[in-house]
Chain A
């Protein structure tokens, strides 16, 4: 049973999570919506935060927050589809946005333990759903979070 024999290929990369292209420092990852890829995403998150000289608490928090956000997305993704992640960094903030196609038509609950974890680790977090226009079925589920660089004293 090899997934590649599956003739019904689901194309999910028709819409990146962010349309504002152009920032030279943005980093985008496209990978299978599978938990096995979590270590790659979180190490990219930690790497970016480290090079942006966030403090060690913030680096670890961001790593955990991205882990949580991606786990939330992956468990909602249509099996066999792709997750798109984008990291945006400016002088005082690192933003992460991830999206998957999903059969769910509701955003992840903001009363869950996972959401509590996310909002504690990040300075802000949002989740929303939009219809996937290309195949007319299913939705994009988005999670966005931001970690501010603390004012260091």
Chain B
């Protein structure tokens, strides 16, 4: 094992230790499976299991870092995978939870790499610059309470404005997930937040009877981003913080979702 582990990147290399580390989760999941969905203890127990297993998602996200994706985005995607694993795991089948969860989470992260990622060949230097800008922007937003400007990014990173501009524009070569691929993906998140307020605002929009089903068909995250931006009056940076991804990712989600809605509304 020692001489192999340096190049082994499959899900198996860490599994034995993690299996022991998460031994108690099996009992919790068995209990969760016994509870009725409507039982008030169900969401609380599920929450507990999610919290308990978060390090597993973070561990996997870390393994995929350094490939030009923002860490926050990777962690978010890995957590989606974790939720799927918890919801789909069947204790009766006798396999360990970690053995089931790790490939499920890795599958989610791999799908993210397949669906997003750079649409054209962009030099490594630019990818890394773009990633640095995205992360620095997240950090500066925390201290400033708003999105930074290119000159603030330049000052923070000790770069020339031209370099910052180049790095920001490189983001345009970044492909967002195809809407159709996302729609046929069964793993979209369950409705986690009611959007009643935004929903009533829809009443004042023309064709809301055709818009409403289109919004309902969107993957959960895209729908939330659109509703929060256009009916909840939040900025992209605020939305990014709320859903736990980068502002640049929110920008991409909005861009392709609006395009998708425009096409569908004109049909």
Contacts and interface: CB of A to CB of B under 8 A. Distances in A.
A117 B165 contact: no
Given A57-B237, A64-B255, A116 B151 contact: no
Interface string A111-153: 1111011001000000000000000000000000000001011
Contact of B207 (A53, A68, A113, A117): A113
B222 to A, nearest CB: 14
A109 B206 contact: yes
A66 to B, nearest CB: 11
A3 to B, nearest CB: 22
For B145, B147, B230, which residue has the most chain A Cβ atoms within 10 angstroms? B147
A117 B172 contact: no
B26 interface: no
Interface residues of A, number: 32
B149 A46 contact: no
A90 interface: no
A103 interface: no
B129 to A, nearest CB: 14
Nearest to A149: B149
Contacts of A51: 150, 165
A47 B150 CA distance: 11
B148 A50 contact: no
A116 B201 CA distance: 11
Given A53-B149, A56-B247, A67-B258, A46 B204 contact: no
B230 to A, nearest CB: 5
B258 A55 contact: no
Interface residues of B, number: 36
B235 interface: yes
B236 interface: yes
A49 B149 CA distance: 10
A5 to B, nearest CB: 29
A11 B254 CA distance: 35
A81 to B, nearest CB: 19
Given A57-B147, A64-B255, A71-B262, A50 B169 contact: yes
A19 to B, nearest CB: 31
B28 interface: no
Nearest to B251: A60
B265 interface: yes
A111 B248 CA distance: 29
A114 B205 CA distance: 9
Contacts of B235: 57
A71 B206 CA distance: 17
Interface in A53-103: 53-61, 63-64, 67-68, 71, 75
A43 interface: yes
Contact of B206 (A39, A50, A53, A112): A112
B230 A120 contact: yes
B151 A113 contact: no
A64 B149 contact: no
Contacts of A61: 236
A89 B120 CA distance: 31
A68 B230 CA distance: 13
A98 to B, nearest CB: 16
Contacts of A111: 204-206
Contacts of B165: 47, 50-51
For B169, B236, B266, which residue has the most chain A Cβ atoms within 10 angstroms? B236
Given A39-B172, A47-B169, A60-B236, 5 more contacts: A56-B247, A67-B259, A75-B266, A111-B206, A113-B205
7 contacts: A56-B147, A60-B236, A60-B254, A64-B254, A75-B266, A109-B206, A113-B208
